[in-house]
Structure 1
Amino acid sequence: MRKPENILYGTGDKPPLQILLVLALQQMSFLGVYLVISPLFARELGLDPPQSLQLVSATLLASGLGVLLQTAKISGIGSGYFCPLQATSSTFAGLILVKTHSGLSAVFGMVGVVGLAQMAFAWLFQRLRGVLTVQVAGLAVLLIGLGLGYYGIKLVLEADAGLELQQQGLLCALTLGTMIVFNVWSSGFLRLFSAFLGLLAGFIGSYALGAIPDSDWAVFHDAPLFYLPRPMNIGWSLDHHAILPAIITGLFLALHGFGALVAAQRFNDADWKRPDLQLVKQGILAEGLTNVCNSFLNGLPLTSSGGAVSLAASTGCTSRYLAYWLAALMAGIAFMPKAIVFWQILPLPVMGSALIFLASFTALSGLQVIASRLLDNRKTLALGIGLILGVSYEPVLRPFHQASAEALKTLLFSGVSLGVFVAVVLSALFQIRNHTREQRTFDAQHSSLDEVIVFLEQQGRIWGARPEIVRRAEHATWQAFEILTEHGLLDRQDGDSDKIRLQTIFNEYTFTVILGYSGKVLPLMTHPPSHEEMLNDEGAVLQMAGYLLHRLADQVRARHDGERCELRLIFND
């Protein structure tokens, strides 16, 4: 794994202590936007203020635990990447459905089942290599970026009390402009803190414009500085009505986590080619275990934060040591109501500007992942329909909210999970009659390079191989054609022209081209013949051709079976 140029401190690097502390504050400043989700949900459940505060504290404690589990990578739990967890309002439909049928305590029993479902799907994902492809991973990252950007624009344009449109625009320009200036035109430490400096500028601007209402300041002043959270203060129970919504919610949380974890892998490896499904499994296991613990704390379900991953990448620090400081900060704030309220009073245009900043990096990274592979009609349709449904999440969701069948609402969890779910289902469906072996017979004397290129490109699109791998295969295959014909290695059969049967195999890791023919086997050399051999040995020219072919492919194998010969060219993808 090679560290990208834009990353100052990679996964295994240890930044100075003071930098880690400020970066942890920066991450907490961003994740603070999700602290408002707990009070919103508390309002939906009808909780009183002390219970609402307990809900926020429990969710923060679980988030700190999840960051540690995700990064520590102990006993097969955790991906080893910096990938914080966050609450999401998309789980509200399932949780409220359970509360309506089974009561408030069953909501937190459902959170435990959600965690168990995530862990079960983590094991399943590892076995879905054929449908959880690089392109699907790119779609997940792209949808995370688009979702962040959409939510950011929505926050910027939402009218705060007493805040005019010009003031909203000014706060957005101040916050986003500060982030851009320090990220683009500065280097070193200032770029590391570009998001934090932007949020700080936005807060100062909000204070100067009077964008924070007096009522919010009153709540901040009245909040106690310190208190002791009480786990299980609301209760815990398990009801059979909660099992199906919990399993569905666990599936879509796992799909969302898949996207965030792929983004973390992509941001940390300059040579990234495909998702490491083993690490994805370990990361989702960490999420699931966190939610199991979270259910006994009486907190909200958590999933990996694609925004936090993007923030770490955009500012140049993805170090796992940052996770330890962030976990400690989350745990400390869980005991400090005044700090919780402070993050909740930050004006929405400031937080929305931060989301727009992060969305730019994430969405373009997803596009790069998708574009790194060739696409045929099957993949184009699977990804295209998934993308359209993912970005159209709210209009798709509206009819279900108006329908009387409440259980259907849990099927539409978030734009990311909906789009990925559709793409995975369609990819699995399109596997029907999509064979991994294809072959075609060519006339060796009269076939052209264009015919070979067309065949190999068609196979590359079907299987989603990288364009550069297909280009290498085309060049090496045509060289093999010329060697077989020019050196008389092909036998004519019944006066017919020489025939070469071309077969391709792809398995996500290698692109293999097999040339089958009747004739003599090609001698393969790992070392070139010497100058003396080239002058004195007639077979040395053929040996040199075999050596050069060996240089064009990652592996070359030749075998002879009776009258049939086989030349196998293997290219690592």
Structure 2
Amino acid sequence: MTTPDSSTRSDLIYGLDDRPHFSAALFAALQHVLASFVGIITPTLIIGGALGLQSEVPYLISMALFVSGLGTFIQARRFGPIGSGLLCLQGTSFAFISVILSAGFLVKSRGGGTDEILSTIFGVCFFAAFIEVALSQFIGKLRKLITPVVTGTIITLMGLSLIKVAVTDMAGGFGAPDLGAMSNLGLAFLVLGIIVVLNRFDIPILRLAAIIIGLGIGFVVAWAMGKVDFAAMPDVPAVSIPVPFKYGFSFDWYAFIPVAVVFLITPLEAAGDLTANSMISQQPVRGPVYIRRIKSGLLADGLNSAMAALFSSMPMVTFAQNNGVIQLTGVASRYVAYFIAVLLVLLGLFPMVGAVLQLMPKPVLGGATLIMFGTVAVAGIKILSEAGLHRRNMLIVSISLGLGLGVAAVPEVLRELPSALHNIFESPITVGAFAAILLNIFLPEEYLDAIEEDEFDPEASIVEVMQNPSSEDIANDLARAGKVSLQR
């Protein structure tokens, strides 16, 4: 068991199992909600806007907040083997945006309406979530197949494939009559500049709230420019009643496979975030307690994603930015998560919140998401750099990125494929992921190449073995593979 030093111990005002008084717990919970609110709602705003689901966006945002509250409670409270018992906030994941958009456009191309699009998306996500449920119990074995070079490649592809969405929103949004107007670009760069400036301050709360402040100022400026029309606010009920599979339940193999691929890597991302949270909360990061906590946390992640699909929300994942809030407040108590859960559930029950947010002009949203999606790509690059870009890894990365981005840039390359394969491989994430996984399996490790070239250094290999964690101590690999969150 890892024992924190005295300097780390003094950073926490309330430990994991301490019970803060009401005002301290509520204040800490509000900061967590502030740090995560944009991350929870933005995937729904992007997907709803791109697929033309505007009439359903307020309800979908309500369900995203509602399920985030329930998932946060489950993760912190622990129910038997389910839940890490940490102050971990659950929220919708940016990692799934591109594959969910692909699924939606697939159904739309067949003439499917709003209900059919959403029933397919949530049906596919429901079944795919059980991949993470299964893998949660074998995370040590998974990291041998989904290595950092594979994870880094896929995450980089995710970020790069979403840049087009962000830039289109900056210009005015898909199908906008004034696409590329200077007023749109000016709004987008205003939001972008505010976020950059606030991130340069040494005041932690300003950095944590930079995106929501940037969006707020951009919204007000857009309103003054006449780009926000409150008369266009959709007619929504006073309260949203969660309805299981409100839009029906459909399944499509072609839509399922790309979503399933992303569920292969989210356990590694979540494990890294849970490891960081354990360290900040002064909990062990090795040994049976740690391993049990990681497995329970990933099991909760998977089941929360299934629950999210049940209640018409996108897949859930453990947010990493809330680890920064713990450091800022010095409050690691898991009981604060109960307050967070209540706040998110209350926000989710009132669809007027989603109706107002739906009025957010696309250029304002695009200015913020450009940074978010760029951060996703940089997260993947950082993982790749830490994995080491030697000869073998460079081959894996270059081929996988080339194929994935190539399919995205020139979709006609798949024209002669049978329709079944075409529908599966039209997603750049699927192409890049399969390429990275297969190359990682079949290309020999670098040290085997060195043996063939008589460059093998036995002493160096012993050092490498000594530096590798044992089968039980997987913290370093997990943290390296997932320490930068996709929700940022």
Question: TM-score by structure 2 length?
Answer: 0.69
| Counterparts in 2 of 1:244 and 1:255: CA distance versus 1, 3 Å | same
Using the alignment, how far apart are the partners of 2:372 and 2:200 within structure 1?
14
* Offset of residue 209 of structure 1: 1.6
Measure how far apart 1:427 and its partner are.
Answer: 0.5
What's the CA shift for 1:184?
A: 0.8
Structure-to-structure mapping, 1:112-261, within 5 angstroms: 112-123=126-137, 126-147=140-161, 149-159=163-173, 160=176, 165-212=181-228, 214=229, 217-220=230-233, 222-236=235-249, 242=251, 244-245=253-254, 248-258=257-267, 260-261=269-270
Query: How many Å separate the matches in 2 of 1:244 and 1:121?
Result: 20
| Aligned ranges 1:135-534 → 2 under 5 Å | 135-147=149-161, 149-159=163-173, 160=176, 165-212=181-228, 214=229, 217-220=230-233, 222-236=235-249, 242=251, 244-245=253-254, 248-258=257-267, 260-261=269-270, 264=273, 282=296, 284-297=298-311, 299-304=312-317, 309=320, 327-359=341-373, 361-392=375-406, 394-395=408-409, 397=411, 399-400=413-414, 405-406=419-420, 408-413=422-427, 415=429, 418-431=431-444, 455-456=456-457, 504=462, 510=468
Deviation readout 1:363-388 (Å, 9 max, x if unpaired): 44443332234443222211222233
C-alpha displacement of 1:327 = 4.1
Mean Cα deviation higher: 74-83 or 127-136: 74-83
In 2: Cα distance, 1:59 partner to 1:245 partner: 25
CA distance in 2, matches of 1:11, 1:244: 47
Structure (1 or 2) with the larger CA radius of gyration: 1
Q: State the partner residue of 1:27.
A: 36
- TM-superposed CA distance for 1:125, in Å, is 5.2
2-structure distance, mates of 1:71, 1:401: 48
Structure 1 Cα separation of the partners of residues 60 and 356 of structure 2: 16
| Contact 1:112 1:295 (C-alpha < 8 Å) held by counterparts | yes
CA contact (8 A) 2:154 2:380 kept: yes
**Alpha-carbon RMSD:** 4.9
Structure 1 position 229, deviation (Å): 3.5
**C-alpha distance in 2 between matches for 1:320 and 1:425:** 43
Q: Are the aligned partners of 2:29 and 2:339 in contact in 1 as well (CA < 8 Å)?
A: yes
Determine the C-alpha separation between the residues in 1 that align with 2:185 and 2:463. 55
User: For the residues of structure 2 that align with 1:511 and 1:124, how far apart are their CA atoms?
Assistant: 17
- How far does residue 249 in structure 1 lie from its aligned partner after superposition? 4.4
Does the aligned pair in 1 maintain the 2:77–2:83 contact within 8 Å? yes
The unaligned stretches of length 5 or more in structure 2 are: 471-479, 481-488
Q: Secondary structure at the match of 1:228?
A: coil
**C-alpha displacement at 1:106, in angstroms?**
7.0
Task: Note closer, same or farther for the CA distance 1:227–1:95 as it changes in structure 2 (3 Å cut).
Answer: closer
The letter for the 1-side match of 2:345 is A
Q: If each structure's helix is expressed as a fraction of its own residues, which one has the higher value?
A: 2
CA shift, 1:180, in A, is: 1.8
8 Å CA contact 1:135, 1:383 repeated in 2? yes
Instruction: Check whether the contact 1:229–1:334 (CA below 8 A) recurs between aligned residues.
Output: no
Please point out which of 55, 58, 70 is paired with 1:65.
Answer: 70
1:179–1:198 Cα contact (<8 Å) kept: yes
CA distance in 2, matches of 1:314, 1:385: 39
Give, in angstroms, the shift of residue 340 of structure 1: 1.0
Distance 1:194 1:138, change over 3 A: same
The one-letter amino acid of 1:289's match is L
The residue number in structure 1 matching 2:97 is 88
- Shift in Å, 1:204: 1.6
1:341-367 superposed Cα distances (whole Å, 9 cap, x missing partner) = 111111122222222333455444443
Question: What is the TM-score with the length of structure 1 in the denominator?
Answer: 0.60
Q: Is the 8 A contact 1:389 1:419 kept in 2?
A: yes
Q: Distance in 2 between matches of 1:27 and 1:33?
A: 10
Hey, which of these two has a bigger chunk of strand by percent?
Answer: 1
Cα distance in 2, alignment partners of residues 366 and 10 from structure 1: 34
Q: 1:134 to 1:97 in 2, by over 3 A?
A: closer
- SS of match in other structure, 1:367: helix
Change in CA separation of 1:232 and 1:511 when aligned onto 2, cut-off 3 Å: closer
Pick closer, same or farther for the CA change 1:53–1:207 going to 2, 3 Å. Answer: closer
State the distance in 2 between where 1:397 and 1:455 align: 43
Q: CA deviation at 1:164?
A: 6.3
Partner of 2:473: none
Aligned residue pairs, count: 438
CA contact (8 A) 1:183 1:315 kept: no
Measured in 2, the distance between the counterparts of 1:431 and 1:57 equals 49
CA shift for structure 1 position 130:
2.8
On the 8 A contact 2:146/2:265 being kept in 1, the answer is no
Q: Is the 8 A contact 1:389 1:418 kept in 2?
A: yes
